[in-house]
Structure 1
Amino acid sequence: MYVEMKNISKSFGTNQVLRDVTIMLKSGEIHALMGENGAGKSTLMNILTGLHKKDAGTILIDGQEKTFSGPKEAEEFGISFIHQEMNSWPQMTVLENLFLNNELKKPFGLLDTKKMREVALHHFNQLGIFLDLDKELEELSVGQQQMIEITKALMTDAKILIMDEPTAALSDTEIKALFKIIHQLKARDVAIVYISHRMEEIFQISDVITVMRDGLSIDTSKTSETDVNEVVRKMVGREISDYYPKKTALIGDVVFTADHLTGANGAFKDISFKVRSGEIVGFSGLMGAGRTEIMRGIFGLDPLRAGTITIEGEEKKIESPAKSIQNGIGFLTEDRKSEGLVLDFSVLDNITLPSIDGFIKNGLVDKKTEAEFAELLIQRLLIKVQSENDIVGDLSGGNQQKVVLAKWIGAGPKVLILDEPTRGVDVGAKREIYQLMNELADRGVGIIVVSSDLPEVMGVSDRIVVVHEGKINGELQKEDFDQEKIMTYATGGK
């Protein structure tokens, strides 16, 4: 299948997100689509699959003009889209999600559950996935849910497969399994569109790179004929030096202590560590090791069976997120859509949500001060919006992540937990987030960073704690950072 999108333009209200964009997709080719958040990458692919209507331009498939009425029609035609944000039903089982609206049936309309289980397990084996088909989706981690989305797309027998940040929530093992499948699909003449901000992946797997910036297609070139610096320069329109900005914060007294924490759900036990003011402590480990569960327990999202939490020398009983916020703990969750944002609220409302009490005067919210506060954070974090009243659900994934970060910066926490803070965020915005972390550390905030990106966790942290199967298996000081050491601890070695 050969697809040519020519001179595609699209606006949402007064915001023009695509301007005369042209891209060509060929069978048996892995085409990387790169650009900063809000560059228009996902919108372009949503137009191809019929989710959005183009304002101008032409779509040709094998030389014939074609416009789809929606994603279902595109999928039936052979174009499948794995979205960055999961399209799944948390209360349904893994099997039910895999075959939703595509159920296999026996004569007389009865569900062929046996056959569906066989097909699901066949695809799971291909991807190296080991999951209970009868488990409800909400019981799975974000990474496991992402693998379900990937499996669903592979089951459609697509001729063109669009992947939007497919590895953002995956472990190294799962990424290797996915890349193996992508190469198999390429050998079967499937065209792959690969949207990612991970440079090492792009250069490892793609044949062609198209760079977008501010709604324009800047350049298309063979991967073998370009390099990281050139791609970054085209993406952001400038050179990016010092990828991990130098940290100058002075590390002070202990602001946070976790003492022998054990989760009520059994995901972690006997967790003890300290964080000092101005210190960035990285948490590393394999997917499913329990890092996110530890942070959820600290923040009061999940109950603790045992252990104590001390903030600035005072023991605190934290039974809910409200108590955490009250005691100076902020938490940027790995699942921003369902836990970090109220999607149908404005950017302003989301940013000021944890700080709203500070804007109340004589029983009423001081709207002027609230708007000035939000605008200050929008400008500081370079969030791309028309105004602070834009609905947060309409923003790109990276800009949504910045809104969550703005919310917690505005709340003025003593301790800030960042769970996968740069997931789905472009290279320029990543550096901005690292710089903001340093600024918060300069102000004496103790920061905990959970990241599956080893170079990132080594680049930003003063100290790294490694978790294996719900327990702390090792700890490294800055001068001892080493990828092999971290992976040894992460896999249970000493």
Structure 2
Amino acid sequence: MNAPSLDDDVILHVEAVTKVYPGTVALKEVNFGVRRGAVNVLVGENGAGKSTLMKIIAGAEQPSTGRLILDGTPIELASSAQALRHGIGIVFQELNLFPNLTIAENVFIAHEITRGGIDIDADAQCRKVCELLKRLELDVSPDTLVEDLRIGQQQLVEIAKALAHDARILILDEPTSALSAAEVDVLFQVIADLKSQGVAIVYISHRLEELIRIGDYITVLRDGRITGHQPMAQVDVPWIVRQMVGRDTKDFSRPVGHERGGEVLTVRDVSLPHKGAGLLVDHVSLSLHAGEIVGIYGLMGAGRSELFECILGCHPHATGDIMLDGKSLNDKPIAKRVAAGLALIPEDRKADALLPILSIGSNMTLSSLADFARGFHIQTQREQGSITSYIRDLAIKVADWRLPVSSLSGGNQQKVIIARAVMTAPKVLLMDEPSRGIDVGAKADIFKVMRDLAVKGLGILFVTSDLEEVMALSDRILVMSNGRVTAEFDAADATQDALVAASAIGHRVEHSPTDERAAA
């Protein structure tokens, strides 16, 4: 595809850029123009090359061939720090924060405000961060440790880091993946403010309706090539999907003729105290049957992830009863709960699931190595056969399973984590935001895997803040708010309005088709 025209609106030109890694070509002759004072949307399936292109623009990677032209002058960026000096900032999808440092220390890490270049002016940093947090409507102290923040709040801290350096080009890679609806509205207000100041925004997201709402121009990548470039006003969601995957969106419809089995997981009156006062999980009870998919819908901070942690045994001070196949898991450590048949797909794959220095295959078999062992040795042929089988079944895009797992896109990394969990042959699979940061094609693959597992008798309990996802996939839907289950629906009776209403209240709402017919 031809390069965008060299006009005054384009602050940065990516010209004929190719990036080659061992065993794969990530980008092929890509031309991309970044317009000032506009939201330049970049979209594509996982593995399409979006993150590679952004890393090149941000100086974290260098192109194999091609060049970058900033304000009409060719530039070479050897590092992210050099890109920042040129006014190019990036907020990565995977958070890059120091949890044991404060918000203020994270925002100014390696760029501290000093007194005469001798010592750090902590007061000046706090004042600047206070202004940024107010702008982002994040009501926390700059002295708060990052580890004490929710993931959505940590995402806003990452954005504050970029804003602190007055970037002329700001790259946002999946900035709303962990944000609540209210936090998304604040972010969009900040983006509108930056646009008015002439800042060029490069915006990456898999939430297609969100792209239509926020974008001014859209560029689509598929298999490392540009397949479409248009003003956003001239496109719609079906056009975006066709450019991304080469076809219309996949069918997420629920399979028919599948019956659930007996109750496999029982949660009774589970509570988790807050560090200060109150409860993060407030007397939650639920059940899950074999072969059933139950979705938990709610906003960030509703207690959904904390509930999963209680079920897995991460909080010894939690109260209540957890039973698996009729046997109590109370007082059992995490390892014994996993051995009994629990498996968790965590929300934050980078921090809680992946070992980036290990290979793709090693990450997949990490939890099931005993199944491939004979004495003190691993049966490598059996292990490799299993790895190859799961790569095929989950449609993981990989040139060689021996490559580091960090070489994969976010969606393919998520599939590796799912493969690892399924390899342990669990009875119950807990999935926390399983499609976070995953495109429509990869999401359909994961949905299919979840349904296939349910047909085989696996009970699946998953958390999501995506209304369409929870309604498309669930047999039953629970809604959580303020640590409580506030509503329960059969999938056939659920509506988006009812789910949103239940997520905004603090007491349980009973809902049944019988009640609905009686009211009518």
Deviation at 1:112, TM superposition (A): 2.5
1:450 correspondence with 2:463: yes
SS for the counterpart of 1:356 is: helix
1:440 and 1:224 mapped to 2: Cα distance? 41
Task: Select between 346-355 and 316-325 the one with higher mean Cα deviation.
Answer: 316-325
SS for the counterpart of 2:318 is: strand
Deviation at 1:377, TM superposition (A): 0.3
1:377 correspondence with 2:390: yes
The answer to whether the 8 A contact 1:244-1:434 is kept is no
1:254 paired residue number: 263
1:440 paired residue number: 453
Output one character per residue of 1:57-94: Cα deviation in whole Å (capped at 9) or x when no partner.
12111111111121111112111011011111111111
1:459 correspondence with 2:472: yes
SS for the counterpart of 1:11 is: strand
1:86 correspondence with 2:95: yes
Output one character per residue of 1:338-373: Cα deviation in whole Å (capped at 9) or x when no partner.
111111111111111121111112332111101101
Deviation at 1:97, TM superposition (A): 0.7
2:327 paired residue number: 314
Question: Match of 1:189, as an amino acid?
Answer: G
Alignment counterpart, residue 421 of structure 1, candidates 434, 440, 458 = 434
1:113 paired residue number: 122
1:36 correspondence with 2:49: no
1:9 paired residue number: 18
The answer to whether the 8 A contact 1:245-1:434 is kept is no
Deviation at 1:459, TM superposition (A): 1.5
Deviation at 1:280, TM superposition (A): 1.1
1:127 correspondence with 2:136: yes
Deviation at 1:108, TM superposition (A): 6.7
2:457 and 2:94 mapped to 1: Cα distance? 34
1:154 paired residue number: 163
1:105 and 1:24 mapped to 2: Cα distance? 37
1:354 paired residue number: 367
The answer to whether the 8 A contact 1:212-1:219 is kept is yes
2:56 and 2:235 mapped to 1: Cα distance? 28
Deviation at 1:245, TM superposition (A): 4.8
Task: Select between 114-123 and 330-339 the one with higher mean Cα deviation.
Answer: 114-123
Deviation at 1:164, TM superposition (A): 0.4
Output one character per residue of 1:456-480: Cα deviation in whole Å (capped at 9) or x when no partner.
1122111111112112222122132
Task: Select between 98-107 and 428-437 the one with higher mean Cα deviation.
Answer: 98-107
1:65 and 1:171 mapped to 2: Cα distance? 40
Alignment counterpart, residue 416 of structure 2, candidates 384, 403, 426 = 403
Question: Match of 1:147, as an amino acid?
Answer: L
2:391 and 2:162 mapped to 1: Cα distance? 36
1:469 and 1:403 mapped to 2: Cα distance? 32
1:392 correspondence with 2:405: yes
2:443 and 2:81 mapped to 1: Cα distance? 34
Alignment counterpart, residue 214 of structure 1, candidates 211, 223, 229 = 223
1:490 paired residue number: 503
1:91 and 1:101 mapped to 2: Cα distance? 16
1:171 paired residue number: 180
SS for the counterpart of 2:183 is: helix
Q: 1:273 to 1:206 in 2, by over 3 A?
A: same
State how many pairs are aligned: 494
SS for the counterpart of 2:294 is: strand
Structure 1 moving runs of 4+ over 6 Å: none
Question: Match of 2:339, as an amino acid?
Answer: Q
1:274 correspondence with 2:282: no
1:188 paired residue number: 197
Q: 1:320 to 1:147 in 2, by over 3 A?
A: farther
Deviation at 1:398, TM superposition (A): 1.1
2:88 and 2:487 mapped to 1: Cα distance? 45
Q: Normalized against structure 1, the TM-score is what?
A: 0.97
Question: Match of 2:310, as an amino acid?
Answer: G
The answer to whether the 8 A contact 1:244-1:431 is kept is no
Deviation at 1:488, TM superposition (A): 2.1
Q: Normalized against structure 2, the TM-score is what?
A: 0.92
2:317 and 2:311 mapped to 1: Cα distance? 8
2:258 and 2:401 mapped to 1: Cα distance? 31
SS for the counterpart of 1:256 is: strand
Q: 1:248 to 1:18 in 2, by over 3 A?
A: farther
Output one character per residue of 1:222-241: Cα deviation in whole Å (capped at 9) or x when no partner.
11112211211111122224
Deviation at 1:221, TM superposition (A): 1.0
Alignment counterpart, residue 328 of structure 1, candidates 335, 341, 355 = 341
Deviation at 1:395, TM superposition (A): 1.1
Deviation at 1:317, TM superposition (A): 3.0
Q: 1:338 to 1:248 in 2, by over 3 A?
A: farther
Deviation at 1:445, TM superposition (A): 0.8
SS for the counterpart of 2:213 is: helix
The answer to whether the 8 A contact 2:270-2:321 is kept is yes
1:368 paired residue number: 381
Output one character per residue of 1:202-255: Cα deviation in whole Å (capped at 9) or x when no partner.
111101111111111112111111221121111112222424454653122110
Deviation at 1:383, TM superposition (A): 0.9
2:87 and 2:401 mapped to 1: Cα distance? 40
Output one character per residue of 1:135-162: Cα deviation in whole Å (capped at 9) or x when no partner.
2212222211111101111111111110
Deviation at 1:165, TM superposition (A): 0.5
CA RMSD of aligned residues (A): 1.6
SS for the counterpart of 1:267 is: strand
- Where do residues 43-122 of structure 1 align in structure 2 (5 Å cutoff)? 43-107=52-116, 109-122=118-131
Question: Match of 1:169, as an amino acid?
Answer: A
Question: Match of 2:380, as an amino acid?
Answer: K
Output one character per residue of 1:292-343: Cα deviation in whole Å (capped at 9) or x when no partner.
0110111122324311111111212354331221010110000101111111
1:276 and 1:23 mapped to 2: Cα distance? 50
1:108 and 1:49 mapped to 2: Cα distance? 27
Question: Match of 1:272, as an amino acid?
Answer: S
The answer to whether the 8 A contact 2:130-2:141 is kept is no
1:64 and 1:320 mapped to 2: Cα distance? 60
The answer to whether the 8 A contact 1:264-1:303 is kept is no
2:379 and 2:490 mapped to 1: Cα distance? 46
1:112 and 1:74 mapped to 2: Cα distance? 25
1:484 and 1:198 mapped to 2: Cα distance? 19
2:357 paired residue number: 344
- Where do residues 226-237 of structure 1 align in structure 2 (5 Å cutoff)? 226-237=235-246
The answer to whether the 8 A contact 2:250-2:444 is kept is no
The answer to whether the 8 A contact 1:142-1:169 is kept is yes
1:20 paired residue number: 29
Alignment counterpart, residue 480 of structure 1, candidates 473, 490, 493 = 493
